[in-house]
Amino acid sequence: MVRDYSSVFDCLVVGSGISGLAASRRLVEAGFSVMVCDKSRGVGGRVASRRIEGAPFDHGAQFVTRRSAEFSKIVEDLLIEEVVIPWFGEAGKERYAGLPSMNQIAKTLAEGLDVKRGMRIENVRFCGDYWEVSSEAELVRSRSLLMTCPAPQALDLLKSEATEPSSCVLNTLSKIEYDKGIALMALLKEPFPVSDSGFLQYDDPEPIATVADTLKKRGLESPGVIIQSGPDFAERHFDSNPDTIIECLLDAYPRSKELKIVSTSLQKWRYAKRREHGISDSYSSDPSIMLWHAGDGYVAPKVEGAYLSGLRVAESVAAELELKLK
Ligand SMILES: Cc1cc2nc3c(=O)[nH]c(=O)nc-3n(C[C@H](O)[C@H](O)[C@H](O)COP(=O)(O)OP(=O)(O)OC[C@H]3O[C@@H](n4cnc5c(N)ncnc54)[C@H](O)[C@@H]3O)c2cc1C
């Protein structure tokens, strides 16, 4: 039985990562009706956290930066609400950690939005005047479609025969590629000082790219480390079983013998870090069929870049909706 939403939304946003949330907030502020859907159980996409024996671990983004005026404003608000705290970095290059975890940033940005969790979009079809977008159990109509999932996932959805985005959009999407990534979270019996700041980034990202010390990060939780692999390691081990990956990652980490591990958890990211490309646009679009794509595929491959792409795409969607609704 498919649930058919009778109302037509002004915009359906696929993805409740930071770009989807930024765009949705801006569109709702401008008075448009917006539905956000995400295949995951929670919001935030790659700004993701989980608990191991009660202790929060971030298995996606470890911190946010604030280089732009727009995102600085958000970080200021989050500092006041105690949703982020300064972690490390010299003046002008500070990094901020989420409180009690990075995912709280996304939860805060999602407040007041209509987010349908656990809704995986399987088909998108432009019907001349509106989009029909469906998951296994739901059918939604909207005047515009904003996709904020990584470009390869957006391309898969757009390949349906009924939809014909301009070749310009398809070309742009096909140039946005991602490396895989693997994060190992380990709850520890004793504190393990990774570095003075609690974050270590290797110059050569193979096989280990970064190590984060969860105790130093916020001073709140039980001791733990998050070891993030480099892209080559992830590519080689992605389909191995989790126990083998954990063993290989620990073997690759020179200080693993010092870790007093209580419990571990693993996260594999098929689309972890966007590769460098020559695209300077903040989003791609085909207004003739009211279609947009945004996210960390544009601006910069990080949380702040995703946020800025979301803000800028919202201005474009709003302008076209205003013309359409006149
Ligand atoms: C391991 C790791 C470490 C990182 N470290 C940092 C860091 O320290 N600092 C930093 O700034 N950045 C970091 N990043 C990058 C940062 O997390 C991303 O750039 C940013 O979060 C991307 O946001 P987004 O909205 O573009 O995409 P996403 O967060 O990927 O959001 C896309 C959303 O679309 C949803 N979706 C996909 N397909 C469908 C579908 N068919 N139907 C419904 N929903 C769908 C997904 O579930 C997801 O929630 C890291 C990333 C990884 C993976």
Residue range 39-78, pLDDT digits in tens: 999 999 999 999 999 999 999 999 999 999 999 999 999 9
pLDDT per residue as tens digits for the range 193-213: 999 999 999 999 999 999 999
Whether this model's ipTM surpasses 0.90 comes out as: yes
pLDDT higher than threshold 90 for residue 238: yes
pLDDT per residue as tens digits for the range 30-49: 999 999 999 999 999 999 99
Which ligand 1 atom lies nearest to the CA of residue 309? 26
- Residue 183 class from Cβ within 10 Å (0-12 exposed, 13-18 middle, 19+ buried)? buried
Which ligand 1 atom lies nearest to the CA of residue 305? 19
**pLDDT attached to residue 313:** 98
Measured CA to CA, the distance from residue 20 to residue 3 in angstroms comes to 23
92 band by pLDDT with thresholds 50, 70 and 90: confident
Is the link from the previous residue into 205 a cis peptide, with omega within 30 of 0?
A: no
Beta bridge partners of 17: 44
Residue 149 CB–ligand 1 contact under 6 Å: yes
Q: Count the helices and strands in the chain (H runs, E runs).
A: 9, 17
Q: Which helix (H) or strand (E) holds 274?
A: strand 261-274
pLDDT per residue as tens digits for the range 142-173: 999 999 999 999 999 998 766 778 888 999 99
Could you tell me the domains of the chain?
3-48+98-176+279-325 (3.50.50.60), 178-274 (3.90.660.10)
Cα 319 to ligand 1 centroid, rounded to whole Å: 26
pLDDT higher than threshold 80 for residue 5: no
Cα 17 to ligand 1 centroid, rounded to whole Å: 6
Which two three-digit tokens encode residue 192?
A: 């393990």
Which residues have CB under 8 Å from 146's CB, separation 6+?
A: 11, 12, 13, 14, 20, 23, 292, 293, 294, 313, 317
Helices 303-325 and 18-29 pack at an angle, to 10 degrees, of 40
Give the least confident one: 19-23, 126-130, 268-272, 299-303: 126-130
Which whole number is the average pLDDT over 82-92? 94
**Percentage of residues in the chain with pLDDT exceeding 90?**
91
Pocket test for ligand 1, best of 303, 304, 312 (most atoms within 8 A of CB): 303
Residue 39 CB–ligand 1 contact under 6 Å: yes
Which two three-digit tokens encode residue 28?
A: 């709702």
**pLDDT attached to residue 1:** 61
Instruction: Give ∠ CA 315-275-51 in degrees, rounded to 5.
Output: 85
Tell me the average pLDDT of the chain: 95
Which two three-digit tokens encode residue 146?
A: 């904003």
**Ligand 1 atom 20: residue of nearest CA:** 303
Which ligand 1 atom lies nearest to the CA of residue 59? 1
7 band by pLDDT with thresholds 50, 70 and 90: confident
